[in-house]
């Protein structure tokens, strides 16, 4: 899962949100250097990633993307799934998306000093861009995917990926709606009984 899903799966807990948000930037056992509640957010991030990578419905989406994303089809699918979460938002949340997004932006700004570099330096630009909102529109998704592609060591045809995705949105939506309730249940189970290590 990508930014939007990780934020959503923190369920309004700010400490979990911060840990979940910085998870990709905390390597190995460095998670132990953070306060306990943030540690649990980092471990939650890793649980989300592992569960997503091993779910059969997600794997179906990865197979659909593979002709375009090749070895990066799994992370490409993560990005696409944030769009699917946004368009199916009311199915999974009682909170208005705009309220959720603004609360999330505020929490991330308030706690930016706790984040590792370079993420800490990116926060002002991410806030300015209203980065969670980018997942709600086709135009925004094309910008997200372009930026994502620039971080990869090899070039992928992001236009072809998204053209295929939007042309087959019903198939991807079926994958996502089969997967995400399981993901929500897994995240809640983790929060109720968090491990001390992962």
The answer to the question of residue 35 being in a domain is: yes
Rounded Cα gap, residues 49 and 77, in angstroms? 12
In a domain, 198, yes or no: no
Residues 6+ apart with CB under 8 A from 174: none
- Residue 67's CB is within 10 A of a number of other CB atoms, namely 12
Q: Is 80 within a domain? A: yes
Does residue 133 sit within a domain? yes
Domain that holds residue 53: 3-192
pLDDT of amino acid 154 = 83
- Residue 76 domain-assigned (yes or no): yes
Domain count, the chain: 1
CA angle 163, 51, 174 (to 5 degrees): 40
Q: To the nearest whole number, what is the mean pLDDT of the chain? A: 94
Question: What is the predicted pLDDT for the residue at 197?
Answer: 57
Length in residues, the chain: 198
CA 52 to chain centre: 10
Q: pLDDT per residue over 42-68, tens digit each?
A: 999 999 999 999 999 999 999 999 999
- Residue 194 has a pLDDT of 79
pTM: 0.94
Is 197 inside any structural domain?
Answer: no
Q: Taking the CB of residue 136, how many other CB atoms lie within 10 A of it?
A: 20
pLDDT of the residue at 1: 73
| Alpha-carbon span 92 to 109, nearest angstrom | 25
Residue 49 lies in a domain: yes
Identify whether the C-beta of residue 29 lies closer than 8 Å to the C-beta of residue 7.
Answer: no
């Amino acid at each position: 899962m990508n930014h939007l899903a990780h934020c959503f799966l923190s369920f309004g807990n700010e400490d979990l949100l911060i840990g979940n948000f910085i998870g990709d930037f905390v390597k190995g056992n460095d998670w132990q250097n953070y306060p306990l509640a943030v540690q649990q957010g980092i471990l939650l991030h890793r649980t989300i990633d592992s569960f997503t990578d091993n779910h059969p419905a997600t794997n179906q989406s990865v197979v659909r993307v593979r002709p375009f994303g090749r070895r990066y089809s799994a992370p490409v699918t993560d990005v696409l799934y944030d769009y699917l979460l946004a368009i199916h938002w009311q199915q999974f949340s009682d909170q208005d998306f705009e309220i959720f997004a603004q609360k999330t932006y505020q929490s991330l700004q308030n706690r930016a000093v706790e984040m590792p570099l370079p993420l800490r330096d990116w926060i002002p630009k991410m806030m300015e861009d209203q980065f969670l909102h980018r997942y709600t529109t086709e135009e925004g998704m094309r910008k997200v995917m372009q930026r994502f592609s620039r971080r990869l060591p090899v070039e992928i045809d992001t236009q072809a990926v998204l053209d295929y995705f939007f042309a087959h949105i019903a198939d991807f939506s079926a994958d996502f709606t089969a997967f995400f309730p399981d993901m929500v249940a897994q995240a809640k189970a983790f929060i109720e009984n968090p491990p001390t290590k992962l």
